[in-house]
Structure 1
Amino acid sequence: MNTVTDRRALARQRTPLNRSQIAGFWGAWAGWTLDGMDSFIYALVLTPALTELLPRSGFAATPSNVGLAGSILFALFLVGWGLSFIWGPLADRFGRTKVLAATIFTFAIFTGLAATSTNVWQLGIYRFIAGVGIGGEWALAGTYVAEAWPEDRRKMGAGYLQTGYYAGFFLAAALNYTVGVHFGWRAMFLTGAVPVVVAILILLRVKEPEKWQKADAKTVRVKPLREIMGPAYRRRTWIACILLTIAIIGLWAGAVYEPSAVIQLATRAGMSKADSMRTASLATGLLSIGTILGCLALPPMAERIGRKMTLAVYFAGMAVSIAASFGWAFYLPNGLAPFIAWLFVLGFFGGNFALFSLWLPEQFETRVRATAFAFCTSFGRFVGAGVNFLLGAAVLHMQTLGVPVALTALAFVLGLFVIPFAPETKGETLPQ
């Protein structure tokens, strides 16, 4: 009884957040939410957009061509994400909030421009540049929350922040269920321009974290990319890169192909085109709810059993759920309901990204933190782009998307052997 009372008293004694910290968090969360919405819009409108644009580009809109072109365009998008490492050194030099606003402005403008595409080449260019902006948002939002929030709150802050991305998935699904079904894929891209407002609010209202201001005032200018590759950080940088690469491969293999898989299963079950799209939107919403719950469950688990063990649990869950959904349920005679049920499980363990928002800032000092965060996430996206291209080729060759996506579960098995080499930071304060 005393233990329970002590815990409640401790919870009441947590450092209160000031107005700037609250505004900054909601600005970062809203940017991350709209980032998730923006990036998932493409997955939801992939089939109708390419069905219209491929013939205008000189290609037949066959299911195989749609799958291949979709994978190529998404690979370009991931390359843009990979180039987003440029934002890290800028944030370490000029501040978190200004550069965060710039990333949001970039992805919002070029997502809106995608609505004007008249062929697949234009769509590819717009998505590439939008990817550069989208890729920088997570690193800067995660860095900002870690530095701006008090030590006794920042761990849960990482979990709360990560829910934004998947709330964006849910928002994209809701928009597709309403706007997309009635007004088409161009209207969906236009909604992606809304984050410009968030960028302006962040730039005008949110102050820089005190940790960055203090570090900036006394730091002799160094080359942060060179420093994170130096003796002090080299090992943890590359281990983080590998683990993030595995997480990105699994997330995007499942998330990008999930709507197409649901549409195929719904069509096979006799649903109309409109009903199939609505079912895909509902399935995406369920996936998002599962991931939000996974993000919220992760920080307390990481505090109890440690960062490495928590990631191992989530990686094992990803391996099982990807194999079960795409490798088993997708091929059942009446597989729609089991597939959607497994999507919820897949979503829950997809919340493993919340750990990186918590864990990466703990591994690097303030003067190089944003650079390290951006570099590690960007590296994974470059590799993810190559894997996504190979997946597209495998889908085309095998004439099915289930088995190729299911094979990405092996990446998480590999990750279980890499996790022991990462540093354990449980109980440590954020390094200054």
Structure 2
Amino acid sequence: MMNTLTDRNAVARRRTPLNRSQIAGFWGAWAGWTLDGMDSFIYALVLTPALTELLPRSGFAATPSNVGLAGSILFALFLVGWGLSFIWGPLADRFGRTKVLAATIFTFAIFTGLAATSTNVWQLGIYRFIAGVGIGGEWALAGTYVAEAWPEDRRKMGAGYLQTGYYAGFFLAAALNYTIGVHFGWRAMFLTGAVPVVVAILILLRVKEPEKWQKADAKTVRVKPLREILGAAYRRRTWVACILLTIAIIGLWAGAVYEPSAVIQLATRAGMSKSDSIRTASLATGLLSIGTILGCLALPPMAERIGRKKTLAVYFVGMAISIAASFGWAFYLPNGLAPFIAWLFVLGFFGGNFALFSLWLPEQFETRVRATAFAFCTSFGRFVGAGVNFLLGAAVLHMQTLGVPVALTALAFVLGLFVIPFAPETKGETLPQ
């Protein structure tokens, strides 16, 4: 036993130390991803109060069904903007990771702040659409940067660390809603989303480009990266990754976006006041975030032990069960608030499946097209996710409930289990140059 511990400590000591640029770059990417998550989830948290105020000003009654439908349409527009974020990938392959990363953060921060000035749902939709374009690019560029900048023996765990930032952003949004949102309203929440501008400036000033990109850029003959990832060499892995990411986005976002509204409905049904219901939704979101952070940290060691494909299968099964149990079962119990929140923690843990893509996607593509491939695969899923949200909104309106329609998204993860075998297994391989 003592020898085993000694061997583990020796391995830990042999890990390549990070230099100052790698540390600063990671924290810049992590902070951007955290504020990205905060920005994304602000909308979910303020959905009900914002639309309750803006729908009458836009000529519509603020009924629960109209709020649900309008919320789905606006979120679908946000996802379309998110999908258009594939434009950042080729720019990053051509001009560098850090410059374009800063541009994505600047874009989503400015237009999230502008959402606070909305006087009707149309303005809110436009601001969220453009913010989505910025938000969508951050993950691809942050994931690409960490994979290329960190040493080979540390980048896998770095992917897990990076992904925790997005859900730390969920937690931060919940904390802000618990304090600022309750006392100052939804407009103040959107204003807090302008803070990431500072992070964008710091990234531009302090973070250097990864050496891998610099070397590849110096010797690469200019090609069209989008054409290359859809060509014969990469076509299969590109489309398989697109399908798997689509499934992850459909399932997690359906659950995450409707989670606050579901908790508010359950809390109101349990006799809580409006302010107490909002606080409960914030606490539930915090619990979901903690579960997801733990899921992100548990994933890289599992992927190294049993492989990328088996790990994703485990997480997909967990997502299918937890979505069905929370929205399809607990939501309809007479006293379902506590069981629903408990299942949210499980849903959050397996929602950490996104950390696998931060680890796995960079391993499947060479440096000259890596950012383009990452951005394209993530953007494809968001376009499909936008369509699914339109369908979800229509189903919520038709069925007059949000539980069953969201629960049905669990079927997407079952489908994903049949797609995973077609993906490449990259366990034990180094990042391709």
CA distance in 2, matches of 1:428, 1:6: 23
Structure 1, residues 169-191: CA drift from partner, whole Å, max 9, x if none? 00000000000000000000000
Tell me the secondary structure at the aligned position of residue 215 of structure 1: helix
Q: Report the alpha carbon displacement of residue 137 of structure 1 after superposing the two structures with TM.
A: 0.0
CA distance in 2, matches of 1:83, 1:250: 20
Q: Which residue of 2 aligns with 1:97?
A: 98
Tell me the secondary structure at the aligned position of residue 128 of structure 1: helix
Structure 1, residues 27-61: CA drift from partner, whole Å, max 9, x if none? 00000000000000000000000000000000000
Q: Which residue of 2 aligns with 1:342?
A: 343
Q: Report the alpha carbon displacement of residue 358 of structure 1 after superposing the two structures with TM.
A: 0.1
Mapping of residues 154-193 of structure 1, within 5 Å: 154-193=155-194
1:408 equivalent in alignment to 2:421? no
Q: Report the alpha carbon displacement of residue 5 of structure 1 after superposing the two structures with TM.
A: 2.0
Q: Which residue of 1 aligns with 2:85?
A: 84
Structure 1, residues 93-149: CA drift from partner, whole Å, max 9, x if none? 000000000000000000000000000000000000000000000000000000000
Tell me the secondary structure at the aligned position of residue 98 of structure 2: helix
CA distance in 1, matches of 2:67, 2:328: 22
Q: Report the alpha carbon displacement of residue 4 of structure 1 after superposing the two structures with TM.
A: 3.3
CA distance in 1, matches of 2:192, 2:241: 34
CA distance in 2, matches of 1:61, 1:7: 59
Q: Report the alpha carbon displacement of residue 305 of structure 1 after superposing the two structures with TM.
A: 0.3
Q: Report the alpha carbon displacement of residue 362 of structure 1 after superposing the two structures with TM.
A: 0.1
CA distance in 1, matches of 2:421, 2:267: 42
Q: Report the alpha carbon displacement of residue 2 of structure 1 after superposing the two structures with TM.
A: 3.1
CA distance in 2, matches of 1:175, 1:429: 41
CA distance in 2, matches of 1:386, 1:146: 31
CA distance in 1, matches of 2:85, 2:167: 20
Q: Report the alpha carbon displacement of residue 301 of structure 1 after superposing the two structures with TM.
A: 0.2
Q: Report the alpha carbon displacement of residue 415 of structure 1 after superposing the two structures with TM.
A: 0.3
CA distance in 1, matches of 2:83, 2:52: 27
1:16 equivalent in alignment to 2:20? no
CA distance in 2, matches of 1:31, 1:219: 29
Mapping of residues 186-225 of structure 1, within 5 Å: 186-225=187-226
Q: Which residue of 2 aligns with 1:423?
A: 424
Structure 1, residues 331-390: CA drift from partner, whole Å, max 9, x if none? 000000000000000000000000000000000000000000000000000000000110
CA distance in 1, matches of 2:413, 2:260: 22
Q: Which residue of 2 aligns with 1:256?
A: 257
Tell me the secondary structure at the aligned position of residue 428 of structure 1: coil
Q: Report the alpha carbon displacement of residue 234 of structure 1 after superposing the two structures with TM.
A: 0.2
Mapping of residues 387-398 of structure 1, within 5 Å: 387-398=388-399
CA distance in 1, matches of 2:262, 2:401: 10
CA distance in 2, matches of 1:29, 1:338: 32
Q: Report the alpha carbon displacement of residue 3 of structure 1 after superposing the two structures with TM.
A: 3.5
CA distance in 2, matches of 1:308, 1:100: 29
Structural RMSD (CA): 0.4
> TM-score scaled by structure 1?
1.00
CA distance in 2, matches of 1:288, 1:99: 28
CA distance in 1, matches of 2:259, 2:10: 44
Q: Report the alpha carbon displacement of residue 263 of structure 1 after superposing the two structures with TM.
A: 0.2
Tell me the secondary structure at the aligned position of residue 66 of structure 1: helix
Q: Report the alpha carbon displacement of residue 212 of structure 1 after superposing the two structures with TM.
A: 0.1
Q: Report the alpha carbon displacement of residue 8 of structure 1 after superposing the two structures with TM.
A: 1.6
CA distance in 1, matches of 2:68, 2:81: 20
Which of 405-414 and 6-15 deviates more? 6-15
Tell me the secondary structure at the aligned position of residue 117 of structure 1: coil
CA distance in 2, matches of 1:311, 1:358: 12
Structure 1, residues 374-422: CA drift from partner, whole Å, max 9, x if none? 0000000000000011000000000000000000000000000100110
Q: Report the alpha carbon displacement of residue 316 of structure 1 after superposing the two structures with TM.
A: 0.2
CA distance in 1, matches of 2:432, 2:134: 27
CA distance in 2, matches of 1:4, 1:195: 42
Which of 7-16 and 202-211 deviates more? 7-16
Aligned identity (percent) is 97
Structure 1, residues 36-95: CA drift from partner, whole Å, max 9, x if none? 000000000000000000000000000010000000000000000000000000000000
Structure 1, residues 192-234: CA drift from partner, whole Å, max 9, x if none? 0000000000001000000000000000000000000011100
CA distance in 2, matches of 1:264, 1:147: 45
Q: Which residue of 1 aligns with 2:273?
A: 272
CA distance in 1, matches of 2:300, 2:230: 28
1:235 equivalent in alignment to 2:250? no
CA distance in 1, matches of 2:189, 2:314: 36
CA distance in 1, matches of 2:251, 2:171: 19
Q: Report the alpha carbon displacement of residue 6 of structure 1 after superposing the two structures with TM.
A: 1.7
CA distance in 2, matches of 1:383, 1:200: 33
CA distance in 1, matches of 2:352, 2:300: 10
CA distance in 2, matches of 1:12, 1:46: 48
Q: Which 5+ residue runs of structure 2 have no aligned equivalent?
A: none
CA distance in 1, matches of 2:8, 2:181: 47
Tell me the secondary structure at the aligned position of residue 17 of structure 1: coil
CA distance in 1, matches of 2:279, 2:4: 48
Tell me the secondary structure at the aligned position of residue 104 of structure 1: helix
CA distance in 2, matches of 1:232, 1:426: 20
CA distance in 2, matches of 1:105, 1:31: 10
CA distance in 1, matches of 2:268, 2:74: 25
Structure 1, residues 222-267: CA drift from partner, whole Å, max 9, x if none? 0000000011100000000000000000111000000000000000
Q: Which 5+ residue runs of structure 1 have no aligned equivalent?
A: none
CA distance in 1, matches of 2:4, 2:309: 26
CA distance in 1, matches of 2:277, 2:8: 48
> TM-score scaled by structure 2?
0.99
CA distance in 2, matches of 1:232, 1:19: 36
Tell me the secondary structure at the aligned position of residue 173 of structure 1: helix
Q: Report the alpha carbon displacement of residue 7 of structure 1 after superposing the two structures with TM.
A: 2.0
